[in-house]
Each structure stands twice: as C-alpha cells, then as structure tokens.
Amino acid sequence: MEKTQNNNHKNIATGIHLLTFGKWLFPLGNFVLPILLWMVNSNKSPFIDRHGKQAVNFQLSITLYTVVLAFVGGGIIIGSIISGGPGLWEAMNHGSDWPFSESMGTFSTIVASGIICGTAILGLSILDLVCTIKAAIRAHDGNDYDYPITINFIPHFDEADVSKQQ
C-alpha cells in the first residue's frame, strides 16, 4: 500500500510540474492548472506540497522577469522614439525613405534594446522549458528539485525547519 501511495504522490508532483505547460493552451494556464492540482492534493504529503510550491514560485518568478524585461525594452524603445523629436515623427508620418537618417543613435538604441531584451526573454523561455522538464523527471524519481532564479512568493518549510520551530 505504501509503495502505491508513494508512486501516486510522485505522479501528482510530476503532473504539477507538467501542467505548467498549460500556458500554451490558455492564458495563465501555467498558474491555474498546477495550482488546482496542488491545492487539491497538498495535504496528502509534504512531497506534493513542496513540489507544488516550487512549481508555482518558479512560474511566478519567470512571469515577473518577463514582464519587467518587456517593460524595460518597450520603455527604452518608446523613449527613444519620443526623444527623436518632431523631426523623427514627421519623417515617420510622411513615409520618407529612412526616418532615422537624422539620428542613427535613436535607431541603434531601438535595435539594441530589442535585441537585448528579446534575447533575455528567449533565454528565460528556454530556462523555463528545461527546468520544468528536469523538475518533472526529478519528481517522478521521488527527488526534490529547486528551480534556479526563483523568488519564494509561497514559502516552503522543510521538516528540519518545522522541528526547530517546535
């Protein structure tokens, strides 16, 4: 009976990690699906609870980093266009040959911020994919997994921490 229950806990923890791919099915699927499975099963074992918290914390962290990068990159691009002044806006409105002919610095800033922030967001996406698969494999094997660059929005306590508090 213990072996079956343990395998069941491993499968649930694995499912929590894999359900973060729900973001490809509908918006916020990377939060809603794992949270539902985790909340329903979190009281069954500390193993499931820990994996659920790790998966949700990682998804929240990755989303936060992506939003910050998008705002920074977008802000730089918009700021560069605005700082180009009326001459740049006039050239863009009238469809001149090359609106940035007066200021290549503005163009360089726009391209550089797009490349840097876009590459960073792509890197976060790859990290998300690799770490989620790695976490699911570790959960299936019955091991814990700590995601990198994770902010612990939902704190998790190890059994050692709980015994120290008592």
- Domain edges within the chain: 2-147
Per residue in 50-73, is it b (16+ CB within 10 Å) or e — as a string?
A: bbbbbbbbbbbbbbebbeebeeeb
Tell me the pLDDT band of 32, cut-offs 50, 70 and 90: very high
Backbone angles phi, psi at 132, to 5 degrees: -65, -45
pLDDT higher than 90, residue 147: yes
pTM of the entire structure? 0.83
pLDDT tens string 123-139 = 999 999 999 999 999 99
So what's the pLDDT on residue 162? 46
Name residues whose C-beta falls within 8 Å of residue 136's C-beta, 6 or more positions apart in sequence: 14, 17, 18
| Mean pLDDT of the region 83-101 | 66
